[in-house]
């Protein structure tokens, strides 16, 4: 599918298109821990030991509250998730994304994320369909060392759309929304303000029935800025702070916990309170010694 595999390496060039996606790029840092966690036996189920749960919410005043690429905008986005341990070698995230797209049309899509023992992502699955392909779903991606492989899923294998994108640098999904897709990126970059790290961000949009999926690879530097105290999920955190400032694009600020849990992401706006907008960790709880 040559037309579907149009790959463009560039810095961000569209200020409004990818707001939701960048928020979610860094929402994927998964190594989570709460110093105020209750000391009690972890819950268990068929999935394994329950370690933590939380919820992210996007707050946006501009664009009537919309976030995301043109034609795929989302409103009132919330994502709740639970983290489980599966043996000693991997973890699993189960969650639900609630949003409106278009406005007033409600969606509640389940998703799962598989993680290696170092909390880097190995696969993601979303129980939804493509916009222009009726025989599709669940949607899935495998994150390999040098390649991203995605499938549209289908009851009839002939209807499935398969994407294979070679990648060599730290990478993750930029769009569609997948908060845990870049779980390892903040851990992988240089923690030296003088040495930014180039990262690859993949967008997979759905422009038309003729071209149901269109992947694009965007590249840009991510920089570590040091530590900063912030408040998230009703508590104080000594956060790690990062920035992404590409030419012709506003600045993005990202705060994570010491272990990598996303605490907040903000995009530079014209008004002075822009750091209070964006994605915020609204709720977080952990069990045992996690």
Residue range 91-103: mean pLDDT, rounded = 92
**Predicted pLDDT of residue 11:** 32
Q: Average pLDDT in the 229-242 region?
A: 93
Residue identified by tokens 């990202």 is 254
Q: Is the full-model pTM beyond 0.75?
A: yes
Query: Do you know the residue count of the chain?
Result: 290
pLDDT bracket for residue 142 (50, 70, 90): very high
* Domain boundaries, given as residue ranges, for the chain: 2-286
d(CA 221, CA 13): 14
278 CA to centre of own chain: 13
**Token representation of residue 66:** 């919309």
Rounded mean pLDDT of 257-266?
A: 83
Most confident stretch, 35-44, 223-232, 272-281: 223-232
Which is higher by pLDDT, 250 or 265? 265
The pLDDT of residue 33: 34
Quick one: average pLDDT of 266-283? Answer: 80
In terms of average pLDDT, the best of 22-26, 225-229, 273-277 is 225-229
Of 133 and 7, more confident = 133
Would you say residue 56 has pLDDT above 80? yes
- CA-CA distance, 60 to 96, in Å (whole number)? 20
Cβ neighbours, 10 Å, residue 17: 19
Q: Pick from 183, 165, 137: which is nearest to 29 by CA?
A: 183
pLDDT of 171-222, one tens digit each?
A: 888 777 777 776 577 777 889 999 999 988 888 999 999 999 999 888 889 8
């Amino acid at each position: 599918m040559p037309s579907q595999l149009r790959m463009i390496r560039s810095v961000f060039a569209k200020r409004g298109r990818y707001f939701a996606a960048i928020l979610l790029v860094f929402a994927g840092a998964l190594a989570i821990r709460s110093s105020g966690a209750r000391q009690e036996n972890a819950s268990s189920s068929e999935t394994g030991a329950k370690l933590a749960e939380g919820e992210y919410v996007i707050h946006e005043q501009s664009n009537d509250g919309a976030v995301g690429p043109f034609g795929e905008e989302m409103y009132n986005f919330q994502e709740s998730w639970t983290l489980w341990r599966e043996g000693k070698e991997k973890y699993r995230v189960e969650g639900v994304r609630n949003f409106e797209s278009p406005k007033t049309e409600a969606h509640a899509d389940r998703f799962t994320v598989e993680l290696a023992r170092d909390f880097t992502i190995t696969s993601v699955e979303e129980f939804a369909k493509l916009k222009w392909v009726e025989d599709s779903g669940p949607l899935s991606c495998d994150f390999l060392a040098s390649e991203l492989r995605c499938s549209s899923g289908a009851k009839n294998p002939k209807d499935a759309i398969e994407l294979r994108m070679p990648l060599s640098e730290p990478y993750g999904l930029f769009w569609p929304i997948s908060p845990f897709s870049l779980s390892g990126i903040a851990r992988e970059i240089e923690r030296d303000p003088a040495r930014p790290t180039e990262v690859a961000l993949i967008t997979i949009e759905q422009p038309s029935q003729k071209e149901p999926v269109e992947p694009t690879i965007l590249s840009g530097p991510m920089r570590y800025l040091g530590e900063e105290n912030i408040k998230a999920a009703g508590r104080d955190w000594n956060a790690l702070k990062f920035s992404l400032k590409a030419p012709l694009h506003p600045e993005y600020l990202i705060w994570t916990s010491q272990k990598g849990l996303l605490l907040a992401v903000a995009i530079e706006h014209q008004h002075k309170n822009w750091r209070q907008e964006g994605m915020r960790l609204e709720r977080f709880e952990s069990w045992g010694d996690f």
